[in-house]
Structure 1
């Protein structure tokens, strides 16, 4: 890794997802597992919006109802048998992919399932089969939901790491042979130069890569 490589990566970042334009320069929802689950559900096939619209408006309404911190899935699980009440709180009737149910009901069911699997707070979130299965078994959710959920809490699973590595490859190949370790080192150095936390940079890039993947799939 050289200073020139870091500079080229930063140039690519600034060209593709400039901080003044790309809306995802945040750390996600560290230590707020409820917000992370809501984000994973409501960002699926939806416009992410601004801090006062879209997904973040849903989370803001839940925060106003619930208070802080949003780090106990039992609060959402309480609505598993009464989803209409959660729909009213969130003021959102969007449905999950496949139209199986509302996103609000799927969130409540997933929260109950995750609590039963031993994942109630952000400190208990790990990329383990029992926890992953607890989420993906909910109709309308899947591995993409799990990837988004974990990323919002700062848990970078293999699928997410591959997206980040691919971004660095796009920025620097063929001049640089990019391994997972090289990608991590370059992203950490770029975050320092951009004066943001590594979590903020990787979250912004991950969102960008997800958007690019969706666009490619639509072609």
Structure 2
């Protein structure tokens, strides 16, 4: 891929997800599995908000309550049987898609399911069937919840890679998405130009494509 391709990609990024307006120019929640799980749950069918509203406000409340690094799912799992305490801390009673439970209850259940598999920290998370099923099996959660959790922790799944490649293909008006090697080159080059990490670029683009998918499916 040439310098012209990188310039075209940057122009597309500026038009579609300008850094001053798009709230997802971050790496997600690396090394913070609790924050990643809360994000995956509370960002579903909800406005992401600012650092003091929406999803990030929920995470901030939990961070203030924990007063510790958010990388131990046993803290959330402890609320699985009696979620009222977690609901009070998070101060958010949004319900999961399907209206099965509150998002807080679903988070606690998912945390316990992962912990029972031996996955309690970000270092334990991997894209395998057992861990994926632990998330997808929670009523109101699904494949999108798992994909979001994995992305927040820096785990690239086949689906997240496909979404990023779709964005790159659209940006460059390619007949087919770029190869893995070309995609990595484009992401790395764009990140250098924007003075951010490739992980930040990938996360922002992935969030954008995910949002576009939701808009398209709602039509």
Whether TM-score is above 0.5 comes out as yes
> What is the match of residue 213 of structure 1?
213
Query: What are the superposed Cα offsets for residues 38-82 of structure 1, whole Å, 9 maximum, x if unpaired?
Result: 000000000000000000000000000001210000000000011
Which shows bigger deviation, 35-44 or 183-192?
183-192
> What is the match of residue 86 of structure 2?
86
> What is the match of residue 42 of structure 1?
42
The separation in 2 between residues aligned to 1:142 and 1:171, in whole angstroms, is: 29
The separation in 2 between residues aligned to 1:108 and 1:52, in whole angstroms, is: 23
The separation in 1 between residues aligned to 2:32 and 2:191, in whole angstroms, is: 23
The separation in 2 between residues aligned to 1:186 and 1:94, in whole angstroms, is: 38
Query: What are the superposed Cα offsets for residues 156-189 of structure 1, whole Å, 9 maximum, x if unpaired?
Result: 1111000000000001123886212211210111
Aligned partners of 2:169 and 2:175 also within 8 Å: no
The separation in 2 between residues aligned to 1:21 and 1:198, in whole angstroms, is: 19
Q: After superposition, where does 1:101-180 map in structure 2 within 5 Å? A: 101-174=101-174, 178-180=178-180
The separation in 1 between residues aligned to 2:175 and 2:109, in whole angstroms, is: 48
Q: Which runs of 5+ in 2 are unaligned?
A: none
The separation in 2 between residues aligned to 1:212 and 1:176, in whole angstroms, is: 18
Aligned partners of 2:165 and 2:177 also within 8 Å: no
The separation in 2 between residues aligned to 1:215 and 1:200, in whole angstroms, is: 23
> What is the match of residue 54 of structure 2?
54
**CA, structure 1 residues 99+177, in 2 after alignment: closer, same or farther (shift >3 Å)?**
closer
> What is the match of residue 2 of structure 2?
2
Aligned partners of 2:168 and 2:177 also within 8 Å: no
The separation in 2 between residues aligned to 1:173 and 1:126, in whole angstroms, is: 33
Q: Which runs of 5+ in 1 are unaligned?
A: none
The separation in 1 between residues aligned to 2:214 and 2:40, in whole angstroms, is: 15
The separation in 2 between residues aligned to 1:177 and 1:159, in whole angstroms, is: 13
Give the TM-score of the pair, scaled to structure 2.
0.98
Partner SS for 1:44: coil
Aligned partners of 2:77 and 2:112 also within 8 Å: yes
Q: In the TM superposition, what is the alpha-carbon distance from 1:97 to its structure 2 partner?
A: 0.3
**CA, structure 1 residues 7+14, in 2 after alignment: closer, same or farther (shift >3 Å)?**
same
**CA, structure 1 residues 63+212, in 2 after alignment: closer, same or farther (shift >3 Å)?**
same
